[in-house]
Amino acid sequence: MTTVEFVLSKEYVELCQLLKLAGIADSGGMGKHIVAAGEVSVDGRPESRKTAKIRAGQSVLCRGVTISVKAP
């Protein structure tokens, strides 16, 4: 499993955009499809809200990649 650190530039980032910015999805639209397909969990729980607000300290798991979200 791979871990990627993502540093926020503001208070939060929407989940589908995070997948794009972390390089898991090629676009925000693809990020939405990945979330809708049930391939994402946040802090160990399945997440189906495409625009869920991801904040510092949270961890996102998708397709074998863990994204560790850090404060700006």
Q: Where are the domains of the chain?
A: 2-70
- At the top level of CATH, the class of 2-70 is alpha beta
pLDDT in tens, 4-29: 999 999 999 999 999 999 999 999 89
For residues 31 and 22, the answer to whether their CB atoms sit within 8 Å is no
Max alpha carbon distance in the chain (Å)? 30
Separation between Cα atoms, residue 6 and residue 3, nearest integer Å: 10
Asked if the model's pLDDT at residue 1 lies above 80, the reply is no
pLDDT at res. 59: 98
pLDDT bracket for residue 35 (50, 70, 90): very high
pLDDT in tens, 44-63: 999 999 999 999 999 999 99
